[in-house]
Amino acid sequence: MIERLTTLLFCALVFASPFFASAWTETWIESAGAVVDAREEGSARVSLHVDLRIRGGWLTGLELTGLDPDLSLLESARAVLIGEDGRRYFPSVEVMGSGVVWLRFNRPNAPRRGRYRAELHYESPLAGPRTLDGRRGIEFTLPGFVDDLEGAEIRIIAPPEASLPRDFDPRAIVRHHIEDRDGEKIFSFRRIQLPRGRSFTVRVDLPSERPPLEIVEGRSFGS
């Protein structure tokens, strides 16, 4: 028997054991966020995290959905589930396509009751610098959940010339902070609460690419 507890981003799978009459789990997603490193052209490096609470049973699988369909896992950073006691669980990872990734835990070492943070690191072409509605920019979306989140945060590490979109409303329910560092600019966006089923999208703008110069008879013209 398979019992599923599903969110739009995560679902927990629990398999019945011959040693028990039934197997079950109760999992609550509390908050989520991502750090998007988009300083270079091409794919961005994304570190996604989800904070969850297991109230009963054990967890044998987590399904992540709504991600970039063309993502590729970073070999330099393993997926991990970290308990509040510091214990680390390293799952096997399967990229299923269409933005779906499975994290699977062996039953003897499956996490049980407590609070945990799941982390997944990958490269995303969709989150890298690109042209959006005729303007250059960086955009990232955190998918919605069936649970109300107590917090959702996205940090974008961008080139130093990046800026907030012209139509960004500082009075909006999204709190933001900008930090200038040597050779980069960090934009932090946070929602104190994210209602169930609602995704969270943020964007920063980049300067338009200058056209190449054409040299004609010793004079320069914008082509």
User: pLDDT over 70 for what percent of the chain?
Assistant: 82
pLDDT bin (cut points 50, 70, 90) of residue 197 is confident
Least confident of 19-28, 78-87, 111-120: 19-28
* pLDDT at residue number 82: 96
State how far the Cα of 138 lies from the Cα of 125, in Å rounded to an integer: 11
pLDDT in tens, 14-61: 332 222 223 457 788 899 999 999 999 999 999 999 999 988 888 888
Q: What is the pLDDT confidence band of residue 163, given thresholds at 50, 70 and 90?
A: very high
- Domain spans of the chain, in order of start: 26-205
Confidence of residue 114 (pLDDT cuts 50, 70, 90): very high
pTM: 0.81
Q: Sorting pLDDT into bands at 50, 70 and 90, what band is 209?
A: low
Q: What string of H, E and C letters represents the secondary structure of the chain?
A: CEEEEECCCCEEEEECCCCCCCCCEEEEEEEEEEEEECCCCCCEEEEEEEEEEEEEECCCEEEECCCCCCCEECCCCCCEEEECCCCEECCEEEEEECCEEEEECCHHHCCCCEEEEEEEEEEEHHHCCEEECCEEEEEEEECCCCCCECEEEEEEEECCCCECCCCCCCCCCCEEEEEEECCEEEEEEEECCECCCCCEEEEEECCCCCCCEEEECCEEEEC
CATH of domain 26-205: 2.60.40.1730
The gap from C-alpha 89 to its chain's centroid, in whole angstroms, comes to 19
Q: Is the pLDDT of residue 1 over 90?
A: no
Query: Token pair for residue 99?
Result: 């933005």
